[in-house]
Amino acid sequence: MVLILKRNDPRCGNQFAKKLAYTFANECLGNGMVPYWDCMEVNAPSIAVAESIGFQQQFKYKVYEFPFD
């Protein structure tokens, strides 16, 4: 199961992403699944949400991007 959070809507204040991610992670754990958080290291807001609900960085990997114009 995948949950993609994109918080670019100004109506999503009041720590909406944190509340949603916390609820989702707890539902995963309660159903025998292991939640996994993935984001680019330049995405400081996403990292802050992840760390605030207990996620810890396990590893880093490189991503290469190639344009197909």
Tens of pLDDT, residue by residue over 19-52, are: 889 999 999 999 999 999 998 888 888 899 999 9
pTM strictly above 0.85: no
Tokens of 38: 């993935």
**Domain residue extents for the chain:** 13-69
Cα-Cα-Cα-Cα torsion 54, 10, 4, 17, nearest 10 degrees, comes to 20
Looking up tokens 């996403």 gives 46
Q: What is the DSSP string of 8-36?
A: --TT-TTTHHHHHHHHHHHHHHHTT----
Cβ contacts of residue 49 below 8 Å, gap of 6+? 5, 17, 18, 21
Q: What is the pLDDT, as a whole number, of residue 56?
A: 93
